[in-house]
């Protein structure tokens, strides 16, 4: 196979910008390059985690009530540092920070809000299983008087995202993103430190043969989910399904995006509103899924239509091929 053209993600962003926003000032591409820089830093730390004393927890509990892993903190710092100095990001919100952070220098004129899960799948770090970073970019009106509470800029429904993406630190480091004009994937070439295009236009298959769910919670799923999973296992769909569950949303979704099928995190006894967070897990993943031809719901409603009311609010998430997501809805 011929090697992919040496098209870097920065060049791709500029081309997207020229094609879709010809009068854009390039500040959007400058922002995205801040994210890709941070993800290269995180990738380098993830790849040497066993050697850098970044394994294990820092002995603190975050706003989610979860033990904070050292790599969570390092990844968060990398993103805050790389984005905070871009000059066009007014507000940043992270899974690791209870409240949104304002870049004071850019609060008046900054045009963007970036919300992120700096390290997704933290429980997998110490056992060398794929983890990821997820980001969501929203626009915000300038606030010359600096009066608007930063949360007002953050609590926007997912259909207002101007871009979303993730990086999966797996057998290779792959960046997948959309600006609303399809989904593109890039693989980090560590020998030159650049994300090179490897998946020019990703389309999710209209149906698949893999379902992805934490089976340990199955007894406490709402009854419609249990009947749906039984239906997939029964073969009555005409397809034989396999079950695959990594426990890192980014890894489970990346497989679903490329191979089709369905990922579910339903309501459970422990998480009656679902475990995954709307703003920095479900929304960016949903934007990418829809742009690739898939669907993303909370079981019944389109994720991107949900109006957030809190930064860390959770939602059930069902995302994947059109056929399976619609079939699940018929069971609910």
Query: Which span (17-25, 43-51, 57-65, 92-100) binds Mn ion, by CB under 5 A?
Result: 92-100
Distance in Å, CB of 330 to ligand AHG, minimum: 24
Q: How far is the CB of 95 from ligand AHG (least distance, A)?
A: 6
Q: Which does 248 bind (CB under 5 to 8 A by kind): Mn ion, ligand AHG, none?
A: ligand AHG
Closer CB to ligand AHG, residue 252 or residue 298? 252
Contact 96, 42 (CB under 8 A): no
- Taking CA atoms, 212 is separated from 224, 247, 252, 290, 317, in Å, by 16, 9, 7, 18, 12
Q: Which of 37, 78, 79, 95 binds Mn ion (CB under 5 A)?
A: 95
Selection from 134, 124, 13 nearest residue 75 by Cα:
134
* DSSP H stretches of helix in the chain: 9-20, 27-47, 70-84, 150-154, 223-234, 249-259, 283-291, 322-331
Indicate whether 143 belongs to the interface with ligand AHG (CB under 6 A): no
In this structure, how many other beta carbons lie within 10 angstroms of the beta carbon of residue 126? 15
Rounded distance between C-alpha atoms, residue 16 and residue 180, angstroms: 10
Among the listed residues 148, 156, 127, 133, the one whose alpha carbon sits nearest the alpha carbon of residue 304 = 156
In this structure, are residues 96 and 68 in contact, taking their beta carbons and an 8 Å threshold?
yes
Residue 313 lies near ligand AHG (rule: CB under 6 A): no
Which of 106, 120, 298, 324 lies at the binding interface for ligand AHG (CB under 6 A)?
120
Least Å from the CB of residue 10 to Mn ion: 26
Q: Is 96 in the site for ligand AHG (CB under 6 A)?
A: no
User: Hey, which residues between 8 and 67 contact ligand AHG (CB under 6 A)?
Assistant: 66
Q: Is residue 122 involved in binding ligand AHG (CB under 6 A)?
A: yes
Binding site for ligand AHG (CB under 6 A): 66, 95, 117, 120-122, 214, 247-249, 252, 275
């Amino acid at each position: 196979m011929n090697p992919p053209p040496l098209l870097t993600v920065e060049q791709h962003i500029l081309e997207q910008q020229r094609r879709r926003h010809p009068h854009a000032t390039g500040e959007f591409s400058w922002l995205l390059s801040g994210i890709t820089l941070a993800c290269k830093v995180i990738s380098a730390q993830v790849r040497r985690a066993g050697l850098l004393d970044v394994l294990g927890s820092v002995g603190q509990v975050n706003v989610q009530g979860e033990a904070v892993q050292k790599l969570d903190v390092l990844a968060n710092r990398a993103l805050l540092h790389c984005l905070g100095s871009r000059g066009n990001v007014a507000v940043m919100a992270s899974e690791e920070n209870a409240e949104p952070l304002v870049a004071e220098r850019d609060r008046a004129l900054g045009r963007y809000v970036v919300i992120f899960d700096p390290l997704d799948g933290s429980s997998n770090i110490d056992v060398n299983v794929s983890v990821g970073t997820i980001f969501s970019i929203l626009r915000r009106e300038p606030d010359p008087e600096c009066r608007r509470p930063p949360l007002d800029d953050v609590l926007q429904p997912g259909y207002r995202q101007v871009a979303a993406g993730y990086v999966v630190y797996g057998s290779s480091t792959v960046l997948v993103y959309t600006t609303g004009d399809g989904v593109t994937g890039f693989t980090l070439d560590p020998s030159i430190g650049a994300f090179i295009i490897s998946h020019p236009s990703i389309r999710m298959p209209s149906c698949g043969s893999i379902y992805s769910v934490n089976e340990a919670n199955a007894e406490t799923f709402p009854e419609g989910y249990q009947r749906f999973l039984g239906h997939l296992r029964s073969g009555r769909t005409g397809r034989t399904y396999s079950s695959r569950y990594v426990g890192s949303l980014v890894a489970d979704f990346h497989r679903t995006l490329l191979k089709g099928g369905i990922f579910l995190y339903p309501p459970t006894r422990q998480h009656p509103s679902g475990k995954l967070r709307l703003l920095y897990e479900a929304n960016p993943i949903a934007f990418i899924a829809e742009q690739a031809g898939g669907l993303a719901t909370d079981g019944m409603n389109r994720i991107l239509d949900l109006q957030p009311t809190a930064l860390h609010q959770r939602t059930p998430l069902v995302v994947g091929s059109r056929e399976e997501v619609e079939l699940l809805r018929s069971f609910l």
